[in-house]
Amino acid sequence: MFAAPIFAPEPMHIPDGFLSVTVSIVLWLVTIVVVGYALKRVNKDMGERQVPLMGVLAAAIFAGQMLNFTVAGGTSGHLMGAALATILVGPWAAVLVMTTVVSVQALIFQDGGLLVLGANIFNMGIIGVAVSYFVYSTLKSLAKGARWGIFVGGFLSAWLSIFVAALAVALELAASGTSPANIAVPAMAAVHAIIGIGEGLITVGALALIYAARPDLLTDAQVKKTGSISVWVVGLIVALALAIASPLASAYPDGLEWVAEQRGFLDTAQEPIYKIIPDYVFPGISNEVLATIIAGIIGTLLVFAVVFVVAYSRRNRQPTSR
Amino acid sequence: MRLFLLLHTAGGIANQLQDKMHVHFLDPYQPRFSLIHRLDPRVKLVLLIAFILTTTLTPVGAWPVYILLYAMILSVIVLSEIGFSYVLKRAALAVPFILAALPVIFTVKGPPLFNLEIGPWSLKASQPGMEQFFSIAIKSWISVQAAIILGATTTFPDMMIAMRAVHVPRLLVAIFGLMWRYLFVLVDEVLRLMRARQARSGHSDRPGLKPGGSANWRARVAGGMAGSLFIRAFERSDRIYMAMVARGYDGEVRTEPLPRVTSTSWLILAFCLAIMIFLLLFALLLWG
């Protein structure tokens, strides 16, 4: 469209069609509950400041995702921002910021699907933020106010937020029967273990600048004000659950496939309905090749009809408009 | 990171921007006066979600139904007058994720099609695996085109009306709206940061031209840019907040009541939903 496209090596925004309806709906429900709570929580903490701050920060994360740095051989690293947002505004506000970013990316820019938007918010907005908060607040309290707590915590939370979100993507794909767990999990883990380093370095760079220019943004008060023990616990549980589930799922992919089969999304496990109903033949169409040809003809006719109608109406419109 | 795919280098962008309004280069909205543009945004959003749901629920290997679903998309593209090539170009950007589904070709059990020898491994491609892979690829390709049409034919304010109609919390819609309003301002900010970096040779995308410093240093530079972007965003949000308060903002998001859905819109909605339900039943009956 403008310049030669670069492949952003970050298969994190799942498009539509890759997750089963069951997985999509379950994750939508979780997302709705968490985002709803976050809205209430942040409204209580920030009041009328909420809308401008969340809106502008979401725009900053969105725009900040354009920031890149060359690594080698035409590849580049860039920012997802969940960890940075969590460190700067606390977990609940960060959930809202990431939800906004991911939703607008899906709705306006088709970056990630709509039916799977709940899953994408869940991965980047909820898991990414919960894990970041868990790691950052743990390291910061370990450091007891020393500077290294901010930077080591920043790097690790950024790295882990990418890594764990990627594991979640892999497990969701596996549970949908789209990608086998024993391939998807190690592949996503390996790729994102490397991508996460870039995220970590950018986050540390950002924290260094903010620490020098506006140290007040990084004080304890900022995180404590909106944070809570429940987020910490959720972060711990998420990190542990994925750390245990991922190797298990890759070692025993049959477990996930079994789930997929139970839900009827693996076609190999399914019996077509028309075989259950003996001698059932769709009126006039008994053969799949024939059905395909007829569908092709109907589709072509439909499109031609529309083209014809549009062309005809435009031809009529033009003389009158001049 | 679709933005990423659209943009290449800061310099390239700067050149592009000199003769183009920013709105045009980021905003996917294509101004036209087509039927689809004039359609109620709420109807469009509901139909889009229904369409994606239908496509996702269509069983693996129901090729005729895929063709009919795609014919629907093609018709809407023609009606919307946004141009087939525009939709295809944007849809191509969503293709890389299909890689994630590639392994199913080899892991789903069934009659083998061919063997792939990679070093010590021998991969058996099965026919059901192949069918499943192409089904996933086609479904996601069709779905993304449907979403592209919505983005290209609906302005953001209309999109917000649609979001309110499907009961996205008002506060969240207000945050979306504010984000959209300042997105272009902050993207400009990022472009200026990137131009400054390029002027100081901290970055190069041209092959053979070595960028300054180590990868670690470059990452820290990018981080510093992100940091200053955030500080500026914080300070900007403070100023915006003051300006809002000065104009009487009290934290309550007040919105105009949604306009009534006209009977024509209801009719279009019902008609399109009926087609989708019919296609889905047809697909489930024959291929389920």
A310 is a domain residue = yes
Least Cα separation, residue A50 to chain B (angstroms): 8
How far is the C-alpha of B52 from the C-alpha of B57, rounded, in Å?
A: 8
Distances (CA, A) of B75 to A308, B60, B257: 11, 24, 33
Question: Is B61 within a domain?
Answer: yes
Chain A, nearest residue to B102 by Cα: A179
Number of domains comprising chain B = 1
Count the domains in chain A: 2
> Could you tell me if residue B251 is inside a domain?
no
Are residues A298 and A183 part of one domain?
Answer: no
Residue B62 contacts A, CB cutoff 8 Å: no
B106 found inside a domain:
yes
Residue A141 CB neighbour total at 10 angstroms:
13
What are the φ and ψ backbone dihedral angles of B167, each rounded to 5 degrees? 65, 35
CA-based max dimension of chain B? 71
Angle between helix A91-109 and helix B156-165 axes, rounded to 10 deg: 120
Helical (H) or strand (E) element with B240: helix B215-246
Report the greatest alpha carbon distance in chain A.
78
Q: Is the residue at B47 inside a domain?
A: yes
Q: Say yes or no: B4 contacts chain A, CB-CB below 8 A.
A: yes
Query: Is residue A16 included in any domain, yes or no?
Result: no
- The percent of residues in chain B predicted with pLDDT above 70, rounded, is 86
Q: What was the pLDDT predicted at A317? A: 62
Q: What is the pLDDT of residue A38?
A: 92
Which chain A residue has the Cα nearest residue B189?
A: A63
Tell me if residue B273 falls in helix, strand or coil: helix
Structural domain contains residue B143? yes
| Chain A closest-CA separation from residue B119 CA (Å) | 17
If asked whether residues A70 and A110 sit together in one domain, one would say: yes
Q: According to the model, what pLDDT value does residue A228 have?
A: 63
For the record, the structure tokens of B43 come out as 């109807």
Helix or strand (DSSP H, E) at B113: strand B112-118
Find the domain containing B154 and state its range: 31-168+261-288
For residues A181 and A315, membership in a common domain is answered with no
Spell out the residues 6+ positions from residue B220 whose beta carbon is closer than 8 angstroms to its own.
Answer: A201, A202, A204, A205, A208
> A322 with A212, same domain?
no
Please list, in sequence order, all residues whose beta carbon lies within 8 angstroms of the beta carbon of residue B155, skipping any fewer than 6 positions away.
Answer: B29
Task: Give bridge partners of residue B126 from the DSSP assignment.
Answer: B112
A231 and A97 housed in the same domain: yes
Per residue, the 3-state secondary structure of chain A, as one string, reads CCCCCCCCCCCCCCCCCCCCHHHHHHHHHHHHHHHHHHHHHHHHHHHHHHHHHHHHHHHHHHHHCCCEEECCCCCEEECCCHHHHHHHHCHHHHHHHHHHHHHHHHHHHCCCCCCCHHHHHHHHHHHHHHHHHHHHHHHHHHHCCCHHHHHHHHHHHHHHHHHHHHHHHHHHHHHCCCCCHHHHHHHHHHHHHHHHHHHHHHHHHHHHHHHHHCHHHHCHHHHHHHCCHHHHHHHHHHHHHHHHHHHHHHHCHHHHHHHHHHCCCCHHHCCCHHHHCCCCCECCECCHHHHHHHHHHHHHHHHHHHHHHHHHHHHHHHHHHC
Same domain? For A294 and A241 the reply is no
d(CA B224, CA B230): 10
What share of chain B in percent tops pLDDT 90?
45
Q: Distance from B132 to chain A by nearest Cα, in Å? A: 8
Instruction: Mention every residue, 6+ apart, whose C-beta is less than 8 A from residue A278.
Output: none
Instruction: Return the CATH number at A34.
Output: 1.10.1760.20
Residue B127 lies in a domain: yes
Is the pLDDT at B212 greater than 60? The verdict is: yes
Contact residues for B133 (Cβ-Cβ < 8 A; gap 6+): B101, B102, B104, B105
**Residue A12, in any domain of the structure:** no
Q: How far is A71 from chain B (nearest CA, A)?
A: 5
B70 domain-assigned: yes
Residue A149 lies in a domain: yes
For chain B, the average pLDDT equals 83
CA distances from A127 to A167, A195, A250 (A): 10, 17, 20
Tokens 């088709």 sit on residue: A110
**Domain membership flag for residue A5:** no
Say how many CB pairs under 8 Å bridge A and B: 391
Let me know if residue A66 belongs to a domain: yes
Pair of tokens at residue A183: 């391939």
Query: Is B12 in Cβ contact with A55 (below 8 Å)?
Result: no
Q: Using alpha carbons, list the distances in angstroms from residue B32 to A302, B36, B81, B152, B158.
A: 23, 9, 7, 10, 15
Candidate from B8, B175, B224 with C-beta closest to A6: B8
Same domain as A145, residue A82: yes
* Shortest CA distance from A10: residue in chain B: B1
Residues of A in contact with B234 (CB under 8 A): 53, 56-57, 88, 214, 217
Which residues does chain A have within 8 Å of residue B1's beta carbon, measured at their own beta carbons?
A: 8, 10, 13, 65, 78, 111
Per-residue confidence of chain A (322 residues) as pLDDT tens digits? 232 233 344 568 898 989 999 999 999 999 999 999 999 988 888 878 888 999 999 999 998 888 877 776 566 777 888 999 999 988 999 999 999 999 998 998 888 889 999 999 999 999 999 999 988 988 888 887 788 888 999 999 999 999 999 899 989 988 888 888 888 888 888 888 888 888 899 999 999 999 999 888 887 544 554 456 777 777 777 777 777 777 776 666 555 555 555 444 444 434 444 443 344 444 445 566 777 788 888 888 888 888 888 878 777 665 544 4
Identity at B286, one-letter amino acid code:
L
Chain A positions in Cβ-Cβ contact with residue B22 (cut-off 8 Å): none
Sign of CA dihedral B111, B120, B132, B130: negative
Cβ neighbours of B283 in A, within 8 Å:
none
| Residues β-bridged to residue A77 | A69
pLDDT at B202: 58
Q: State how far the Cα of A30 lies from the Cα of A23, in Å rounded to an integer.
A: 11
Among B15-24, B90-99, B167-176, the minimum mean pLDDT is found in: B15-24
Across the interface, of B6, B100, B169, the residue whose CB is closest to A173 is B100
Task: Indicate if the alpha-carbon torsion angle B46, B52, B57, B59 is positive or negative.
Answer: positive
Interchain pair A57, B56: CB under 8 A: no
Residues from chain A contacting residue B172 (CB–CB below 8 Å): 35, 39, 96, 99-100
> Is B78–A307 a contact, with Cβ atoms under 8 angstroms apart?
yes
Whether B42 has its CB under 8 Å from any CB of chain A: the answer is no
Inter-CA distances, A110 with A34, A118, A250, Å: 23, 14, 30
Confidence of residue B56 (pLDDT cuts 50, 70, 90): very high
Q: Which of A53, A214, A230 is nearest to A126 (CA)?
A: A230
Higher per-residue pLDDT: B178 or B252: B178
B226 CA to chain A: closest CA distance, Å?
5
Contact across the interface for A288 and B131, Cβ inside 8 Å: no
- CA atoms within 13 Å, Cβ hemisphere of A139: 18
Same domain for A200 and A321, yes or no, is no
Contact B219 A77 (CB under 8 A): yes
What interface predicted TM-score (ipTM) does this complex get? 0.86
Residue B258 near residue B165 (C-beta atoms within 8 A): yes
Record: contact A3-B16, CB cut-off 8 A: yes
A38: which 2 tokens?
């976050």
Q: Between B8, B99, B221, which is nearest A205 by CB?
A: B221
Same domain, A123 and A55: yes
CB atoms B218 and A20 under 8 Å: no
Q: What is the pLDDT of residue B205?
A: 59
Q: Say whether A107 and B151 touch across the interface (CB within 8 A).
A: yes
Q: pLDDT tier at B213 (50, 70, 90 boundaries)?
A: confident
Chain B interface test: which of A68, A172, A219 (most B C-beta within 10 Å): A68
User: Is there a single domain that holds both residue A144 and residue A257?
Assistant: yes
* Domain membership flag for residue B11: no
Query: Which member of A66, A108, A302 has the closest CB to residue B190?
Result: A66
* pLDDT, average across residues B132-137: 90
The Cα A269–Cα A249 span in angstroms is 19
Q: Mean pLDDT: which of A8-22, B1-15, B208-222, B238-252 is highest?
A: B238-252
Q: What is the pLDDT of residue B41?
A: 94
Q: Tell me whether residues A70 and B223 touch, CB distance under 8 A.
A: no
pLDDT digits (tens, 9 = 90+) for B138-177: 999 999 999 999 999 999 999 999 999 999 998 899 999 9
Query: Of the residues A230, A246, A268, which one is the last residue of a structural domain?
Result: A268
Q: Within this chain, do residues A253 and A285 fall inside the same structural domain, yes or no?
A: no
Is A104 inside any structural domain? yes
- Which residue range is the domain that position A284 belongs to? 279-322
> Quick check: B200 contacting A, CB < 8 Å?
no
Confidence of residue B201 (pLDDT cuts 50, 70, 90): low
- The residue of chain A nearest to residue B192, with distances taken between CA atoms, is A67
* pLDDT for residue A1: 27
Residue A322 and residue A228 in one domain: no
DSSP β-bridge partners for residue A285:
A282
Single pTM value for the model: 0.84
